[in-house]
Amino acid sequence: MANQQHLDILKQGVQAWNRWREAHPEIQPELPDSDLTAADLVDAQMEQALLSHTHLDNARLEGAHMDRADLWAAHLQKANLRGAHLDEANLNRANLEGADLTGAHLERADLWEAQLDGANLEGAALAGADLGGACLEKANLRGAHLEAAELNVTYLAGANLSEAHLQGAHLGGAHLKNADLTGAHLENADLWEAHIEGANLRTVTGLTQAQLERAVGDEATKLPEGLSTPAHWSEVVDGESQSLLLTEIIDDEETAGSLDSRAARRAPVPLVRRPRPGSIAP
Q: Are 218 and 238 in contact (CB under 8 A)?
A: no
Q: What are phi and psi of 158, to 5 degrees?
A: 70, 10
Hey, which residues does 266 pair with through a beta bridge?
Answer: 246
User: For position 11, what pLDDT does the model report?
Assistant: 93
% pLDDT > 70, the chain: 83
Buried b (16+ CB within 10 A) or exposed e, 7-26: eebbeeebeebeebbeeeee
Query: Is the pLDDT assigned to residue 239 strictly greater than 50?
Result: no
pLDDT tens digits, residue range 67-77?
A: 999 999 999 99
Looking at residue 137, what is its pLDDT?
A: 97
- Inform me whether the pLDDT recorded for 237 exceeds 60: no
Instruction: Average the pLDDT over 248-274 and give the result.
Output: 34
Q: Which of 92, 100, 28, 30 is nearest to 64 (CA)?
A: 100
Say which range, 32-41, 168-177, 269-278, has the weakest mean pLDDT: 269-278
The predicted model gives 84-99 an average pLDDT of 98
Please report the pLDDT score of residue 279 as a whole number: 39
Amino acid 235: pLDDT: 61
